[in-house]
Structure 1
Amino acid sequence: MTHSPTITVPSRLSAALSFWRRADPIQKLAILVAVGLIGMALFAPLLAPFEPNSQSLISRLRPPLGFERAKAGYLLGTDELGRDVLSRSLYGLRLTLMLAVLGASLGLVIGGVLGLLAGIVGGRTEAAIMAAVDTQIAMPFTLIALFLLAILGSSIEVIVLVLGLYGWEQYARIVRAEVRRMMKMPFIEAARAAGASPLRIAHHHLLPNIVSPIVVQFTLSLSNIVLLESTLSFLGLGVQPPTATLGSMVGIGRDFMPTAPWIVMVPAVMILLITFAVQILGDWLRDGADVRLRAR
């Protein structure tokens, strides 16, 4: 009697397939959109048909292919300087996502460290940190960003710093609340009774148990940081020309919307897709991390 060979699926692939099967149609669409955007950003140099800053004034304000006056090779048309809109959008997507990820990561580190410190140390340290959190929440961050950019300039490093300061208070509040809750648990009391240092308790016992809410908050804040960067670039305070970001393309193209709306529409649609994908996936992760919702 012959037996059919058993096909073993690698555990990571099996987990990915299970993750995909549990998703509803909207979540699957968000996954595909996110994968597509990340792929376009990573392979922008290979996908872009032209250099993003290459100008051709005789080809300025040409519409996308399929419209009258369209020029062969320029799939999504050209801007006011004859630059290829598709190439600039791909490179702008790449830079926008890079700034958003770096800014969100910096905010996570700042807020996570301060929240961990507030939850473990307590006392005046906790009061000072939470006072800073309340101050940050009370002040419109756009004004803070404008103030910092006006003083420090708008280099890439300064923009990353400004974006990193956005939303750190949310991480600090989440981490502090989780740490204070876990500090009362028996396994933490046992570790302290055994002589474990606060650093060891934080590294071995606290951090592994607060990864889930931090990851959820990271995804939810990422789309907000993309919108913030786009807003700053739209106002002319972000990355300076000729370097393209999605927000700067929208900001420059707004003067040409009556005659050349494609200059604005392409980067605006990309911003919309980013926020859609990240928000849907963030809500999904949040629901998955909620024990009560999983039980239902």
Structure 2
Amino acid sequence: MADATVIARPKSRGASRIFTGIGTLWREANWVQRLAMVLALVLAAAALFAPLVAPFGPVEQSLIARLRPPIGFENYREGYLLGTDELGRDVLSRSLYGLRLTLSLALLGAIIGLLLGGILGVLAGLMGGVFEDFVMGTVDAQIAIPFTLIALLILAIFGSSLTIMVLVLGLHGWEQYARIVRGEVRKLVEMPFIEAARAAGATDRRIATRHILPNITSPLVVQFTLSFSNIVLLESTLSFLGLGVQPPTATLGAMVGIGRDYMPTAPWIVVAPALMILLVTFAVQILGDWLRDRADVRLRAR
């Protein structure tokens, strides 16, 4: 009887490549970048799994436990690790849910700004002429006006629903993307390899996707991280002023805005969300600067 031949099924290489890439990034990072990576993962996990890890609901009240201090202080109430606010709501639970909503709004806003400004910047750089003048004129007009005033006007007219907030945050920073991308595209289209691609019969679409986009990844990564951090601060500012997401929905900025009236007697209401805002901006800025260096094809070519 012939021996049966056992054919080993090839294992999927996708997961191994991901873990290998993460291991490589970890080995090449310094201690500050590693700290930022850990912070980013912890904050992302806390936001993603907030409904599972939060001990209470974000609007669950216990008036008999209002303004209780965190663990380790006198009058601490068991279960409320970071204390309670003026309505007896758990500060830790509200901070986790607020982190989740704040990061979601910032991510959506940054993506909208990247797509809007990036597309307009590429088209302006490639097409030139009247369209370029129109785009850059609009960019100059928005730069001349503080965006906080524009956001306040939009929210005052259309309200502060989540949809309006996402659109407002998406408009923040698009002009910076457009300005950066247009300048990079104008510089790249005069390079010899672009002229060679045109001579070889490459279309504008292929030139944009295969030759231009890889060379503008680095400034886009930097601008995305700056925009993400600025949007987190903008959302916090608007919520602090009472024009952002309305109560009882929790965002980090709204928690800081409401808690400012209780700073002399209950500072823990402000400390937790303010610390989360600080950690988010720190992690994003450090990782963005690091990824900029890794994504820059000019640096890799040296």
TM-score (norm 2): 0.90
Of the candidates 69, 75, 79, which is equivalent to residue 81 of structure 2? 75
Of the candidates 124, 127, 131, which is equivalent to residue 125 of structure 1? 131
Q: Distance in 1 between matches of 2:112 and 2:71?
A: 41
Q: Distance in 1 between matches of 2:243 and 2:126?
A: 39
Q: Does 1:151 align with 2:157?
A: yes
- 1:263/1:152 Cα in 2 relative to 1: closer, same or farther (>3 Å)? same
2:58 partner amino acid:
P
| 1:3-33: CA deviation from partner (whole Å, max 9, x where unpaired) | xxxxx99333222222112211111111111
- C-alpha contact (below 8 Å) 2:109/2:231 kept by paired residues: yes
Aligned to 1:238: 244
Percent identical across equivalent pairs?
Answer: 71
Aligned to 2:230: 224
Q: Does 1:135 align with 2:141?
A: yes
Aligned to 2:176: 170
2:221 partner amino acid:
V
Q: Does 1:206 align with 2:212?
A: yes
Q: Does 1:37 align with 2:43?
A: yes
Aligned-residue CA RMSD (Å): 2.0
1:177 partner amino acid:
G
Question: Secondary structure at the residue paired with 1:10?
Answer: helix
Q: Which runs of 5+ in 1 are unaligned?
A: 1-7
1:20 partner amino acid:
W
Aligned to 2:282: 276
Aligned to 2:10: none
Query: Mean alpha-carbon deviation: is it higher for 146-155 or for 91-100?
Result: 146-155
Size of the aligned set, in residue pairs, is 289
Please report how far the alpha carbon of residue 207 of structure 1 lies from its aligned counterpart in structure 2 after TM superposition.
2.6
2:92 partner amino acid:
L
Aligned to 2:5: none
Q: Distance in 2 between matches of 1:244 and 1:191?
A: 52
Q: Distance in 1 between matches of 2:301 and 2:117?
A: 30
- 1:180/1:225 Cα in 2 relative to 1: closer, same or farther (>3 Å)? same
Q: Distance in 1 between matches of 2:153 and 2:132?
A: 27
Q: Distance in 2 between matches of 1:38 and 1:232?
A: 23
Question: Secondary structure at the residue paired with 2:109?
Answer: helix
Of the candidates 35, 47, 50, which is equivalent to residue 56 of structure 2? 50
Of the candidates 274, 283, 294, which is equivalent to residue 288 of structure 1? 294
| 1:181-213: CA deviation from partner (whole Å, max 9, x where unpaired) | 221234433443455443343234333432332
- C-alpha contact (below 8 Å) 1:220/1:283 kept by paired residues: no
Please report how far the alpha carbon of residue 152 of structure 1 lies from its aligned counterpart in structure 2 after TM superposition.
1.1
Q: Distance in 2 between matches of 1:15 and 1:219?
A: 21
Please report how far the alpha carbon of residue 262 of structure 1 lies from its aligned counterpart in structure 2 after TM superposition.
0.4
Q: Distance in 2 between matches of 1:12 and 1:83?
A: 40
Aligned to 2:16: 10
Q: Distance in 2 between matches of 1:179 and 1:133?
A: 16
Q: Distance in 2 between matches of 1:99 and 1:203?
A: 28
- C-alpha contact (below 8 Å) 2:215/2:296 kept by paired residues: no
1:224 partner amino acid:
N
Of the candidates 158, 166, 169, which is equivalent to residue 160 of structure 1? 166
